[in-house]
Structure 1
Amino acid sequence: MSNPGQISPLRPVTRHVTGHNAAGKAIIHASSPGEWKSFEAKDMAFDVVYTTSQFPADLNNDADLAAHEQVVQSDQLGLVNPRGTVCRIVDFAPNNKCIVHRTQSLDYGIVLEGEIEMLVEEGEPVRMKRGDIAIQRATMHGWHNTSDTEWARMVFVLQDCQPLTVGGTTMKEELGIATGVLNPSGNDQ
């Protein structure tokens, strides 16, 4: 039942991209299964659903489709796409390792399956259930599936943001234990 490359037992995902025909009528441009990459000894898997490389996106002559394909084929995408957006699905194994990190981005994280804890530097972890949404604003944070048996799935939409300065310090991307494993985003230069 899994898609090739998918490591979790959760339902496979299919991406449906719309477009227009020559008469300007809406069509389904393409449908394709998720393309998963495992991380952290298969405790986590990513599926990059879509990216944009500028904001606002340019949909004319399918420029966004070409830009997305170029980003994916480059194999250089970090967590954030500079000057653009990333829509990514992440599956978390039971008792996965919590990877604490910071991205220079404004992120919407929505729990699709299971439950997950959101950790930040100060305060107690927040347990998030299906349908809950985190608005992550360039903070140091982490995600931890505390279940002993069930996988969790989240969808994230990451948007590049202006440099954030707090107390005179400019915040930078920090990948924690994922440094050297994940590509740096390069949007905090």
Structure 2
Amino acid sequence: MRTIPRRIVTGLRDGKSIIEQDAVVNNVSEHFPGLIISDIWSTDTVPAEFEEKIIENTAFPNTPKNGSYFRYVQIPPDQDLGITALEGQPHPLMHQTNTLDYIIILSGEIYLIVDEEETLLQAGDIVIQRGTNHAWSNRSNLPCIQLAVLLDAEKRLNNYDYLRTCRIK
């Protein structure tokens, strides 16, 4: 599977459907070594408009008010990032976003960590992440690729800070 996805965008010309764009995504960042984030599309209204929005590519998403975010993420093994979760401490990448997220694991495996528990996710698994405190921990030797749709949400389920500081060791 390629690290940076190809994006095809359809449109209309003279009342007929066409392919307006067909190219590898160019809004890509690597905030930490091997953590590849490709922001595919964003909206800032509901109902959505069809115009492409410029997205600020950030390690933790900044979903537009009343909008959505479409994101492709390659998460390297924790060991490649130098991440060590200390016993009794929150995972160094624990964070919370004010979004409702639909996440599909495309390849590899990864642990979803929440405050009280964790679960191993594998290719084909789907997560509905509802504004909760969470982290991703890749304890394998291969990258994990996720596809995520994030929707702006009205409120969070708990009282954690909107976004906790990332603590990489």
Matched, 1:54 2:45: yes
Tell me if 1:19 matches 2:31.
no
* TM-score normalised over the length of structure 2: 0.81
Q: Is the 8 A contact 1:104 1:172 kept in 2?
A: no
Q: Shift of the alpha carbon at 1:34? A: 2.3
5+ residue gaps, structure 1, are 1-8, 179-189
CA distance in 2, matches of 1:119, 1:165: 16
Moved over 2 A (4+): 9-12, 75-78, 95-98, 163-166
TM-score normalised by length of structure 1 = 0.73
Q: Which has the higher helix share?
A: 1
2:102 aligned residue (104, 108, 115):
108
- Per-residue displacement from partner, 1:37-81 (whole Å, max 9, x unpaired)? 0012x141110000011111023xxxx22xx1xx33xx4766122
Does 2:137 match 1:144? yes
Between the aligned residues of both structures, percent identity stands at: 27
Partners in 2 of 1:156 and 1:30 — Cα distance? 21
More strand by share: 2
Contact 1:110/1:131, CA 8 A, preserved across alignment:
yes
Contact 2:74/2:143 (CA < 8 Å) preserved in 1?
Answer: yes
Query: Judging changes above 3 Å, is the alpha-carbon distance between structure 1 residues 175 and 89 closer, same or farther for their aligned structure 2 residues?
Result: farther
Partner of 1:84: 67
Name the aligned partner's letter for residue 81 of structure 1: P
Q: Which runs of 5+ in 2 are unaligned?
A: 84-91
